[in-house]
A and B are shown apart, each in its own frame.
Chain A
Amino acid sequence: MAARLLFGGFLCLVLLAPQVASEFHVTLLNYIGLYAIVALGLVLLTGVGGLTSFGQAAFVGLGAYTTAYLSTAENLPPWLAIFGGSPWMGLLAGLLLTAAVAFVLGLLTLRLSGHYLPLGTIAWGISLYFLFGNLEFLGGHTGMSGIPALSLFGVELRDGRIYYYAIWAVLLGAVWLTRNLLDSREGRAIRALKGGVVMAEAMGVDTARSKVVIFLVAALFASISGWLYAHLQRFVNPTPFGLAIGIEYLFMAVVGGAAHVWGALIGAGLITILKQWLQDWLPKLLGASGNFEVIFFGVMMIFVLQRARDGLWPILTRLMPAPRTQRAVPQGAALPKKAVPPAGQVLLEAKNVVKRFGGLVANNNMNLTVKAGEVMALIGPNGAGKSTMFNCISGVDSATEGEVLFCGQAVTGLNSRQIARLGMSRTFQHVRLLPTMTVLENVAIGGHLRGSKGVLPAMLHLERAEELRLLAEAARQVERVGLKDSMFELAGSLALGQQRTLEIARALCADPCLLLLDEPAAGLRYMEKQALADLLRKLRGEGMGILLVEHDMDFVMGLADRVVVMEFGEKIAEGLPDQVQRDPAVLEAYLGGVD
């Protein structure tokens, strides 16, 4: 309630500001709004998605120059003529051009790993800047003037006080769209980009696509800001679109709090006001003119990254009333389920799988099958190659030789996303979950493939019906594994055993016919193990095939229908639990030889 009041107060302030503020302050607020729109894109890209771009200013430039050129050029070539004359067509053209450029740059540079991406953005940021300054028809370094004012319903937005509303309406709209996007199925996929790529792919998320999506959204926000800028200034030159400003945008996002939409506004406001102030005072203080504020910004940035890496917003929220947390368990109709294969049908068949890491043979000629409605346990001493085998089956890694068949289809060489789509779901030995998301949200990622609504409906929140059914399904799985009480807690706050259980719920949320569990009982207490065994028996009864890697022999022997024993990458025994326990090779592997 208090948080709502605060937000209402903020809205009133935004509405009233131009009525009371001086001309100078309105101009300042206009620029803060323009910069915050760009910084918001960076929040999505950098803070949430973990991709860093120093080149956003170039996209601002694309938006600004497109509308400047189209609305001032005397003789447009015929194919461009439809875009001429109106700022609104300029906006459309700018967005299309930016989307095209960003799409190509994104395809080229987003596949770059880690630090290559920001370096790439520096490079094309510089390239585009020099391009603006050297193209004759864009006015070279002197720029272009005479850009018409925007007009809306016949009213010309010449006055800064009126233009203010246009800028802030766009900004608040962009914040709304971004928040909606993050709170959706696509948003969970985006939030998994930072540190959860392997897991998300195994749950069927196309992470490469998610990266392109946030890159495009960030570029389009920048382009709109550029369009607004061009019609506010009514003059453009290359200077505001250079690399230095691109760096400043990133600083705004980082200082404000790169992981929070409001951080963009705080950062843009702080940096813009500081810059104004420093540009007034530093030259007087230092007795020379120049951009000395960069010294201050550089040092401030170093300090922020050393002392408060998450930026100012999290510090501010600690002072504010705690937001209302969702406590109501989502209710919704059940999602459609895949047909269950008849019990006894072979689901998974691995034939002569070999996996080499350089000279090390981790798996050698491994064969195993899993049938519908049975629990197959894969056991063996540490380092026997069980998890490697798991990765080869689930497509997280690919086998060097051999073949894996799933539901009669060859899946060797397919990636984990494609395999997940076929109905295989897994957990990880070293838990891979997103610690800053709630248990419910983590489990809902497992249901990614059971929804279909894309980015646009998510941004406009037109997918609420589907979203509710997804969350309701996730909630059912959370209850099923016994984590109901911690449904709305952050996944990172759970104990390790509970985190493993969460992974099972996430895997179940995908509606699999084959479940791969990598040491699910590790870290569980006795009663919890009993409950897990009961759950697995129930799943088996429903016709699910389960492949289990486990060290707890009581757990395995009481549950498994068949057991495969591995040592040094090879299968040394296979059979019913009782048979395996009496097998001399197994005894030797576990207890040492009896001479």
Chain B
Amino acid sequence: MDLQIALLLGQDGITNGAIYALLSLALVLVFAVTRVIFIPQGEFVAFGALTLASFQAGKTPGTLWLLIGAGVVVALIDLTLAVRAGTARKIPRIIGWNLLYPAAAAAAVFLLKPNEFPLLLQIVLALALVVPLGPMIYRLAFQPVAEASVLVLLIVSVAVHLALVGLGLLFFGAEGSRTPAFSEASFDLGQVRVTGQTLWVMGASLLLIVVLALFFERTIYGKALRATAMNRTGARLMGISTVMAGKLSFLLAALIGAFSGILIAPITTVYYDTGFLIGLKGFVGAIVGGLASYPIAAAGAVLVGVLEAFSSFWASAFKEVIVFTLIIPVLVWRSLTTRHVEEDE
């Protein structure tokens, strides 16, 4: 290995690492607020990328049907509950978000021609289809068991992951897709060629991280999420709805996931089940941060990306083995450094 290859691998690693970092932030956020270990994060990555690819291929993305279907189920459940509880003022909101919004999205997809849109508009439309699935899934799968133990939530999480992977196969088929790069430009930095897409990925990741930081520091909703993460009961007593906090954190996680998928789709071919491994690598990063610290999680995720790039050079067949074996010493180190009384799930 010479310096040039090392730099190339490093660039690769940091690019992927930036994506893993974004995902690890979302995972930390979801866990802190809802105690859910968000295994389906990877499916949002795949859904984001493949929805965009469907638009570009002039097809109707299956995620639209999922949005409509999930919207109808949520609306049915919530309307029944609202009628039973006699809270009629909630009804317009329920219908608006769960029935009218998906209908509007469907109208946009069918009446306009998304394959003729500029890339930016296609991306916005793809996000508009995928991101609302986050809170809907929270409503359907997690809200009824919100007070259960972390382990029960984890099993639910795995179940949601399975269902979404199966739906992904149904919607997008077994073939992978790649989307065109955001920019064809490339620059020579010394011996290394840096592609425009790489810069896009890093720039967009950094921007998103800064925006998230501002959201948590400066806005009332960001502060509400932080309060819920620190103390659920306390936040509740202060009038912060844990349901709202849960939905909001899932919304953000879905946004981050789908956006990551859109960023990574020009670099690597995305299949319906690609997201799982990408998400798990974000996890390794999140676990380095102990599912609690955002900056350490991001740093860990970048480390995972670099490790992956170099192990694909030295022992490409064992790339995944190396990355996922890394998690075990990390877990052991974590459990040695965090003391806690083990009791009563």
Chain A interfacial positions (CB closer than 8 Å to B): 50, 52, 54, 105, 108-109, 111-116, 118-120, 122-124, 126-127, 130-131, 134, 194-195, 197-198, 244, 247, 250-251, 254, 286, 288, 290-299, 301-302, 305-306, 309
Contact = CB atoms under 8 A, between A and B. Distances in A.
Interface string B127-171: 000000000000011001100101110111011111111110110
B156 A305 contact: yes
Nearest to B287: A119
A113 B332 CA distance: 10
B158 A119 contact: no
Nearest to B165: A294
The B interface is mostly helix, strand or loop, or mixed, namely helix
Which of B283, B332, B340 gathers the greatest number of chain A CB atoms within 10 Å? B332
Contact of A127 (B154, B169, B321, B345): B321
A412 to B, nearest CB: 18
A120 B159 contact: no
Contacts of B301: none
B151 A115 contact: yes
26 contacts: A116-B335, A119-B37, A119-B287, A123-B280, A123-B324, A123-B325, A123-B327, A126-B280, A131-B318, A131-B321, A134-B321, A194-B345, A195-B343, A195-B344, A198-B343, A250-B158, A288-B173, A292-B169, A294-B163, A294-B165, A295-B170, A297-B162, A298-B161, A298-B166, A302-B140, A305-B148
Given A52-B154, A118-B151, A124-B328, A302 B141 contact: yes
Contacts of A118: 151, 154
Nearest to A292: B166
B174 A306 contact: no
The A interface is mostly helix, strand or loop, or mixed, namely helix
Given A247-B162, A292-B170, A309-B152, A120 B343 contact: no
A301 B159 contact: yes
**Which 8 interchain pairs have the tightest Cβ spacing?**
A298-B163, A295-B166, A301-B159, A298-B162, A294-B166, A123-B327, A134-B317, A294-B162
Contacts of A123: 280, 284, 324-325, 327-328, 331
Contacts of B174: 290
Given A124-B328, A294-B165, 19 more contacts: A52-B154, A112-B335, A123-B324, A124-B324, A130-B320, A131-B318, A131-B321, A195-B345, A197-B343, A198-B342, A247-B158, A247-B162, A290-B170, A295-B162, A296-B166, A297-B163, A299-B163, A302-B160, A305-B145
B29 to A, nearest CB: 16
B163 A295 contact: yes
Contacts of B220: none
Q: How large is the interface on B (under 10, 10 to 19, 20 to 34, 35 or more residues)?
A: 35 or more
A480 B141 CA distance: 50
Contacts, number: 146
Given A109-B328, A113-B335, A290-B170, A126 B320 contact: yes
A127 B166 contact: no
B341 interface: yes
Contact of A134 (B318, B324, B345): B318
A286 B331 contact: no
A589 B170 CA distance: 72
A298 B159 contact: yes
B338 interface: yes
Contact of A124 (B144, B284, B325, B340): B325
B155 A120 contact: no
Nearest to A254: B155
B345 A116 contact: no
Which of A54, A108, A247, A302 gathers the greatest number of chain B CB atoms within 10 Å? A302
B343 A297 contact: no
Interface string B302-323: 0000000000000001101100
A449 B64 CA distance: 62
Which of B148, B150, B170, B321 gathers the greatest number of chain A CB atoms within 10 Å? B321
A40 to B, nearest CB: 18
A119 B160 contact: no
A197 B342 contact: yes
Interface in B207-254: none
Nearest to A300: B159
Contact of B332 (A108, A130, A288, A309): A108
Contacts of B335: 111-113, 116
B169 A291 contact: yes
Given A290-B174, A301-B155, A302-B160, A115 B318 contact: no
Given A127-B321, A195-B343, A108 B327 contact: no
Given A120-B331, A126-B320, A305 B159 contact: yes
A296 B340 CA distance: 38
B334 interface: yes
Interface of B: 37, 140-141, 144-145, 148, 150-152, 154-156, 158-167, 169-170, 173-174, 280, 283-284, 287, 317-318, 320-321, 324-325, 327-328, 331-332, 334-336, 338, 340-345
B155 A108 contact: no
Given A116-B334, A288-B173, A54 B344 contact: no
A306 B318 CA distance: 39
Which of B144, B156, B158, B165 gathers the greatest number of chain A CB atoms within 10 Å? B158
A295 B167 contact: yes
A302 B156 contact: yes
A290 B170 CA distance: 8
A118 B156 CA distance: 13
Nearest to A397: B341
A286 B167 CA distance: 11
A428 B208 CA distance: 50
Contact of B327 (A111, A120, A244): A120
Which of A52, A123, A134 gathers the greatest number of chain B CB atoms within 10 Å? A123
Given A113-B342, A294-B163, A288 B317 contact: no
A119 B331 contact: yes
A285 B30 CA distance: 36
A247 B40 CA distance: 14
Given A114-B150, A195-B345, A122 B163 contact: no
B332 A126 contact: no
A131 B341 CA distance: 36
A134 B311 CA distance: 14
Contacts of A109: 328, 331-332
Contacts of B283: 119
Given A127-B321, A127-B324, A195-B343, A290 B169 contact: yes
B312 to A, nearest CB: 13
Contacts of A131: 318, 321
A109 B335 CA distance: 9
A305 B154 CA distance: 11
A305 B170 contact: no
B237 to A, nearest CB: 22
A354 B338 CA distance: 23
Contacts of B284: 123
A54 B158 CA distance: 10
Contacts of A111: 332, 335-336
Contacts of A105: 328
Nearest to B342: A197
B144 A115 contact: no
A109 B156 CA distance: 22
Contact of A198 (B141, B144, B317, B341): B341
B177 to A, nearest CB: 17
B327 to A, nearest CB: 4
A44 to B, nearest CB: 16
A301 B341 contact: no
Given A195-B344, A297-B159, A298-B162, A286 B170 contact: yes
Given A112-B332, A115-B37, A295-B166, A302 B159 contact: yes
Contact of B331 (A52, A112, A198): A112
Contacts of B160: 298, 302
Contacts of B170: 286, 288, 290, 292, 295
Contacts of A292: 166, 169-170
Nearest to A201: B342
